[in-house]
Chain A
Amino acid sequence: EAQVTQNPRYLITVTGKKLTVTCSQNMNHEYMSWYRQDPGLGLRQIYYSMNVEVTDKGDVPEGYKVSRKEKRNFPLILESPSPNQTSLYFCASSFGVSSPLHFGNGTRLTVT
């Protein structure tokens, strides 16, 4: 089944403890991206990748890192999480930014 798999679904952590949210797709998509969704602000793009070893900042990249070592995986890394990074996170993939998007199920992160 074609899908984007995000893990974990829920994560509660403390300020400063490094964490990684994984994202994997099995559709051979070139384009992958990360978003955060906050009440009243909607979805905002954190980082995106057009292909392996190519990543670019979105609108809100501060405090996040990504890597794209393989086509299928695009992990989101929070080196030193802070409470303002408490949010709902989505990964998405597609053949290109102008192609239909496939979203993961989301990761609800709480940083205390």
Chain B
Amino acid sequence: KNEVEQSPQNLTAQEGEFITINCSYSVGISALHWLQQHPGGGIVSLFMLSSGKKKHGRLIATINIQEKHSSLHITASHPRDSAVYICAVVVDKLIFGTGTRLQVFP
């Protein structure tokens, strides 16, 4: 069993829809990263959080340390949000989920 599980693996949405991507982990962590990888490969850090909630524009990330779960929400989704979203947990090193591929159609 993977230490970091993401769901769903693939997600399609219509423009404007509210999106939720989930990340569950089985190890004790000190922090969690959410990353975005666009087609073409570049990886961008979206959030790093160790408790509570963070918001940046239309993106919101939450984490519940006790339940070992984090969510990434996208409000009013747009085709430019189409990408792979990856969560990574911090133990003494980084352990990555396998990613959620999101496609948003106009």
Chain A positions near chain B (C-beta within 8 angstroms): 33, 35, 40-45, 48, 56, 58-59, 88, 90, 92, 97-103, 105-106, 108
**Chief secondary structure at chain A's binding surface:** strand
Residue from the list B43, B48, B99 in contact with A103, Cβ < 8 A: B43
Contact A97 B98 (CB under 8 A): no
Contact A101 B97 (CB under 8 A): no
Q: List 11 A-B contacts (CB under 8 A).
A: A33-B94, A41-B98, A42-B86, A45-B93, A98-B90, A100-B45, A100-B48, A103-B44, A103-B45, A106-B42, A108-B41
Would you give the 0/1 interface string for B81-95, flagging 1 where the beta carbon is closer than 8 Å to chain A? Answer: 000001010101111
Residue from the list A40, A43, A45, A97 in contact with B86, Cβ < 8 A: A43
Contact A44 B96 (CB under 8 A): yes
The yes or no answer to B13 lying at the interface (CB within 8 A) is no
Contact B93 A97 (CB under 8 A): yes
The interface residues of chain B lying within 8 Å CB-to-CB of A100 are 33, 45, 48
> How far is A7 from B85 in the complex, measured between Cα atoms in Å?
25
Query: Which 3 residue pairs are nearest across A and B when measured between Cβ atoms?
Result: A42-B98, A98-B31, A103-B43
The yes or no answer to B35 lying at the interface (CB within 8 A) is yes
CB distance from A43 to the nearest CB of B (A): 4
CB distance from A38 to the nearest CB of B (A): 10
